Amino acid sequence: MHLPSPAPEFTAPVVIVGAGPAGLTVGNVLRAAGVECVVLETGTRESIETRPRAGVIEEWAVQALRARGLADGLLARAGLHTACEFRFNGQRYPFPYQRLTGRHHFVYPQQLLVTDLVREYADVRGGDIRFGVREVELHDLDSARPSVSYRRDGTGSREVVHCAFVAGCDGARGVSRAALVDHGARISRHTYGIGWLALLAEAPASADSVLFGCHPRGFAGHMPRSPEVTRYYLQCPPGDDPGNWPRDRIWEELQERLGAAGADPLTEGRLTEKRVLDMHDYVVEPMAHGRLFLAGDAAHLVAPIAAKGLNLALHDAFLLGDALAARLTGGDERGLTGYSQACLRRVWDYQEFSQWLSELYHGTATGDPFRAGTTLARLRRLFTSETAAAAFAEQYLGTATHY
């Protein structure tokens, strides 16, 4: 009789599910502390190194990456943003936040950061990473010996890694969040009732800063990503079909919504990405159960309104990597015990700012003259009150000292 061969089994102190910015940062922190771990990723190395998403990174996050030897590529190639500009009522309103605060943003496409983090984890620090995994399942999270099982691409066999801790870093569409919710965690959601057509254009930036067009026809955004590529957003109905947006309509709307007296027309270019995002947020509380700890989009999604998601993912990852290392190398439980609460304070603050900013972006396009009036008052206040400007800059840059 031919018996099926047993599933290959491995052991490592930590399994990290997902090789996005959160998972790779946790992995790098653990490797630097001498802790073994296994990263499991559904995508290929090439797919994660070429997936364009975020670009705006806050100064504290770059300092934290630098302190851990993870910012060499970023510091060599990132752009610096020192101002943003609102456009409303046909006028330009530059907001020079570096002049006001001495602080700035870094602009570095997320796929370049991921490329740097994978190289450092796998090629420099010798970390174990398995690409192309399928059907990932988490087991025995309430026990001291949880495990994660999966299939490898191209083979039928199931493999299992036994561990002491699981870091759920598998983003908004992963499996870790569901495991936590199954164990009683609460998920709170917010839907904006708004869509954004997210675009990438092979075109140089049309201004040397981010532009926010607050227009009665809807919001439009201009976000320089590199000398050759610019991200644009156009407010649209949620669930809209990208097919409703042929090239000419897109550029016409962008020119109209971002147009202002004295501003050059936008430099147009080939569109390489066109998809509709339904704007929504969620937060999972607590972010841990038993031996499972979530980090990044797996635990909280913040719509890309305020460019905060990657920053929150990095914040979680530093705390979780340090807490796991402290527990596994010295038996210190404190970091893991306080992990969820320490992350959630910043998460809720950024979520609140996102809602506040959403009204600023979209309020004039609601068709409600009362909301348009209050939105314009909110916009004007940024340019007439130093106190309001300072509060906006602090939240936009993520520079508060306490959350």
* Position among 297, 336, 347, 379 found at the interface with ligand RFL (CB under 6 A): 297
Nearer residue to ligand RFL within complex by CB, 19 or 283: 19
Does residue 40 bind ligand RFL (CB under 6 A)? yes
Nearer residue to ligand RFL within complex by CB, 108 or 392: 108
Does residue 116 bind ligand RFL (CB under 6 A)? no
Is the distance from CB of 31 to CB of 125 less than 8 angstroms?
A: yes
Beta strands 165-168 and 292-294, pairing class: parallel
Alpha-carbon distances of 193 from 39, 306, 358, 394, rounded to whole Å: 36, 17, 11, 27
Does residue 198 bind ligand RFL (CB under 6 A)? yes
Does residue 79 bind ligand RFL (CB under 6 A)? no
3-class secondary-structure state, position 392: helix
The string over 103-132, giving b where at least 16 C-beta atoms fall within 10 Å of a residue's C-beta and e elsewhere, is bbbbbbbbbbbbbbbbebbbeeeebbbbbb
- In the complex, least distance from residue 54 CB atom to ligand RFL, rounded to whole angstroms: 3
DSSP secondary structure, 261-284, as one string: TTPPPPPP-EEEEEEEEEEEEEEE
**Span near ligand RFL by CB under 6 A; candidates 72-80, 168-176, 281-289, 327-335:** 168-176
Q: How many residues bind ligand RFL (CB under 6 A)?
A: 36
Structure tokens at 242: 């990208």
Does residue 147 bind ligand RFL (CB under 6 A)? no
- In the complex, least distance from residue 248 CB atom to ligand RFL, rounded to whole angstroms: 23
Does residue 389 bind ligand RFL (CB under 6 A)? no
Does residue 81 bind ligand RFL (CB under 6 A)? no
Does residue 362 bind ligand RFL (CB under 6 A)? no
* Position among 66, 99, 145, 173 found at the interface with ligand RFL (CB under 6 A): 173
**Span near ligand RFL by CB under 6 A; candidates 121-129, 172-180, 213-221, 376-384:** 172-180
β-partners of residue 148 are: 138, 161
Place of tokens 């495990």: 147
- In the complex, least distance from residue 255 CB atom to ligand RFL, rounded to whole angstroms: 21
* Position among 221, 296, 363, 398 found at the interface with ligand RFL (CB under 6 A): 296
- In the complex, least distance from residue 110 CB atom to ligand RFL, rounded to whole angstroms: 5
Does residue 19 bind ligand RFL (CB under 6 A)? yes
Which among 114, 63, 169 has a CA at the least distance from the CA of 397?
A: 63
Residues 6+ apart with CB under 8 A from 139: 146, 147, 148, 149, 160
Structure tokens at 307: 């460019």
**Span near ligand RFL by CB under 6 A; candidates 4-12, 52-60, 88-96, 380-388:** 52-60
Is the distance from CB of 255 to CB of 266 less than 8 angstroms?
A: yes
What backbone phi and psi angles, to 5 degrees, belong to 310? -65, -40
Strands (E), 125-244: 128-130, 133-139, 147-152, 158-162, 165-168, 186-202, 210-213, 220-224, 230-236
Nearer residue to ligand RFL within complex by CB, 53 or 77: 53
Does residue 42 bind ligand RFL (CB under 6 A)? yes
- Using CA atoms, how far apart are residues 76 and 363, in angstroms rounded to an integer? 39
Write out the residues near ligand RFL by the rule CB under 6 A.
Answer: 17-23, 40-43, 48, 53-56, 110, 133, 136, 169-171, 173-175, 198, 277, 296-297, 304, 307-311, 313
